[in-house]
Amino acid sequence: MSPEQKRAAYACDVTYVTNQQLGFDYLRDQMACTPAELRLRSEEPFACAIVDEADSVLIDEGRTPLVVSTQSTIPSEKYTTALQVASQLEKATDYSVLEKEKTCVLTEVGEVKVAEVLGKDDLFDPQDPWAPFIVNSLTAKELYQRDRQYLVRDGKVVVVDEFTGRPVDGRSWSDGLQQATMTGVLGFRPWSGGIK
């Protein structure tokens, strides 16, 4: 919905809205530069809220912060190359899986291999970082399974809520994990450079 349509809906005596949408509309209002960009009521706040499945909304989902972000401007080739390189790394030798933290970490051996294959001196170069892309590709491969953590609908990755087990349209993982997962879903050509 456009901000105008949302303003009209929020101006009604009764408004039905999901907790996620209300939370994001609140965050977007906090970032608005002009009154025309506001969505929620400004003069008359809501009198009350009826929350369905309050324990899930306030406790389970309350642990997951709402983050407003923009679309990635990083070329998809970088994700594809990272996935190609990461697919040839060996678990335990080149990287470790940290299940509790839901991430992977390159070992020193892995860092050297990746840097050599990519022809880079520094995988953490602020001007052209590669380490986060490789780590996201490994994380997507090792810890995010199709039909468990996400579904594929109409060529898009739909996140499955870890607490309810339901797909959540409009939610995405941050820091490039969504793009890395999507790249894995779309497939890739084998890396021609190879890893020694």
76-91 residue pLDDT tens:
788 899 999 999 999 9
Q: What is the C-alpha separation between 173 and 136, in angstroms, rounded? A: 11
Tell me, what's the pLDDT at 190?
Answer: 42
Predicted confidence band of residue 64 (pLDDT cuts 50, 70, 90):
low
Predicted confidence band of residue 42 (pLDDT cuts 50, 70, 90):
low
Higher-scoring residue by pLDDT: 73, 22: 22
Residue 76 CB partners (closer than 8 Å, separation 6+): 179, 183
Residues of the chain with pLDDT > 90, as a percent, come to 28
Tell me what the mean pLDDT of segment 103-118 comes to.
94
pLDDT at residue 41 is higher than 80: no
Q: Kindly report the pTM of this predicted structure.
A: 0.64
**What domains, with CATH codes, occur in the chain?**
3-63 (no CATH), 76-186 (3.90.1440.10)
φ/ψ of 97, rounded to 5, equals -100, 120
Residues of the chain with pLDDT > 70, as a percent, come to 84
Predicted confidence band of residue 72 (pLDDT cuts 50, 70, 90):
low
Tell me, what's the pLDDT at 46?
Answer: 74
CA distances from 71 to 76, 188, 196 (A): 12, 22, 35
Tell me, what's the pLDDT at 192?
Answer: 43
- List pLDDT tens digits, range 17-26: 887 788 888 8
Higher-scoring residue by pLDDT: 11, 74: 11
Answer yes or no: are the C-beta atoms of 133 and 78 closer than 8 Å: yes
pLDDT at residue 126 is higher than 80: yes
